[in-house]
């Protein structure tokens, strides 16, 4: 039940982010649902591998490169889903930061 609530909160968060962040657009709730599902799968499977591969640069930047990884994954998901567009790296960075905040607040709220 908690998983479904967090998932729905992420979908709602992505819809709100797309509404207010310039450069990010969604065509509807179906596209947002698919985007959150794929983003979650990539964060669970691909992100740990990328984090290990880029560990030296992450250490050198004191962990700030992890924001870049999140933004690149966010942008990557938008690149192959029709109806979900991100117009540049800065929009992807802001969108991924806001998605992180939404997920953190949702996880603390749904306990």
d(CA 2, CA 92): 27
Residues spanned by the domain of 106 = 2-110
How much is the CA Rg of the chain, to the nearest whole Å? 14
Q: What are the angstrom distances between the C-alpha of 41 and each of 27, 57, 104? A: 21, 24, 17
| 3-state SS, one letter per residue, for 65-111 | HHHHHHHHHHHHHHHHCCCEEECCHHHHHHHHHHHHHHHHHHHHHHC
Q: What is the pTM of this model?
A: 0.91
Total number of domains constituting the chain: 1
pLDDT tens for each residue of the chain, 111 residues long? 888 999 999 999 999 999 999 999 999 899 999 999 999 999 999 999 999 999 999 999 999 999 999 999 999 999 999 999 999 999 999 999 999 999 999 888 887
User: Is residue 76 exposed (0-12), middle (13-18) or buried (19+ Cβ within 10 Å)?
Assistant: middle
């Amino acid at each position: 039940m908690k998983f479904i609530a967090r998932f729905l909160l992420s979908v709602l968060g992505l819809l709100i982010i797309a509404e207010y962040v310039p450069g990010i657009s969604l065509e509807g709730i179906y596209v947002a649902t698919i985007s959150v599902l794929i983003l979650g799968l990539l964060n669970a499977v691909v992100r740990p591998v990328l984090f290990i591969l880029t560990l030296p640069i992450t250490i050198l930047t004191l962990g700030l490169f992890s924001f870049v990884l999140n933004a690149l994954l966010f942008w990557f998901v938008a690149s192959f889903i029709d109806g979900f567009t991100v117009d540049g790296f800065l929009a992807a960075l802001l969108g991924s930061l806001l998605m992180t905040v939404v997920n953190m607040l949702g996880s603390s709220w749904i306990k």
